[in-house]
A and B are shown apart, each in its own frame.
Chain A
Amino acid sequence: MTAIIVLGLGAPALAADGVAGEALYQDVCRNCHGPKAQGMASFPKLSDKDADYVAMRLEQYRAGETVGPNTALMAPHAQDLTDVEIADLASYVTTAFD
Chain B
Amino acid sequence: MPNRNRIRATDWLIPVMAGSLAFALPAHAQSGPNTTSLQHTVVLSDLESPWDMAFLDDGTMFFTEKCKGLSVLMPSGDLNALLGMSESEGYASTADDLFCEGQAGMMGVAVDPDFAENRRIYVYSTSNMSDPHTNRLMRLVVNDDFSDVSDRTDIVDDVPYKMEASDHPFGGPGAHNGGRVRFDADGALWLTTGDNHNEEVPQSPTMMGSKVLRMDTDGNAHAENTPPEGFDPRTYTYGHRNVQGIAFHPETGTPITAEHGPWHSDEITVLQNGGNAGWDPRDNMAGRGDCPDGYCGYMPNQAEGMNRFERASFMPMTDFETYPDAMPPIWDNNGWSQGTSSAAFLEGEQWGDWDGTMAVGIMGIGFGGTPIGQRIDVIELSDDGMEVVDVTEMTLPMEAGRFRSLVLGPDGSLYAAVDEGTIHKLTPGG
Contact = CB atoms under 8 A, between A and B. Distances in A.
Contact of A76 (B66, B103, B305, B364): B305
Interface residues of A, number: 22
A23 B419 CA distance: 21
Contact of B420 (A23, A40, A70, A80): A40
A69 B367 CA distance: 14
Interface string B400-430: 0010100000000000000111000000000
Given A31-B364, A31-B374, A69-B171, A40 B4 contact: no
A80 B5 CA distance: 11
Contacts of B168: 69
B302 interface: yes
Contacts of B172: 42, 68-70
Contacts of B303: 71-72, 75
A49 interface: no
A42 B171 CA distance: 10
Contacts of A73: 169-170, 365-367
Contacts of B165: 69
B103 A41 contact: yes
Contacts of A72: 169, 298, 302-304, 367
A73 B366 CA distance: 7
Contacts of B169: 69-73
A27 B366 CA distance: 11
A42 B366 contact: no
A41 B305 contact: no
Contacts of B5: 28
Interface residues of B, number: 34
A76 B367 contact: yes
Nearest to B303: A72
A7 to B, nearest CB: 26
A64 to B, nearest CB: 10
Interface in B390-404: 402, 404
Nearest to A24: B1
Interface in A59-78: 68-73, 75-77
A70 B368 CA distance: 13
Nearest to B2: A80
Contacts of B302: 72
A76 B368 CA distance: 7
Contacts of B261: none
A80 B6 CA distance: 12
Given A40-B402, A41-B402, A28 B171 contact: no
Nearest to B301: A72
B290 to A, nearest CB: 19
B102 A77 contact: no
B226 to A, nearest CB: 35
B367 A41 contact: no
Interface of B: 1-2, 4-5, 49, 66, 102-103, 165, 168-172, 174-175, 298, 302-305, 363-368, 372, 374, 402, 404, 419-421
What are the 5 A-B residue pairs with the smallest beta carbon separation, nearest first? A40-B419, A69-B172, A69-B171, A72-B169, A72-B303
14 contacts: A23-B1, A31-B366, A34-B420, A40-B421, A41-B363, A42-B102, A69-B171, A70-B169, A70-B170, A72-B302, A72-B367, A73-B169, A77-B366, A80-B4
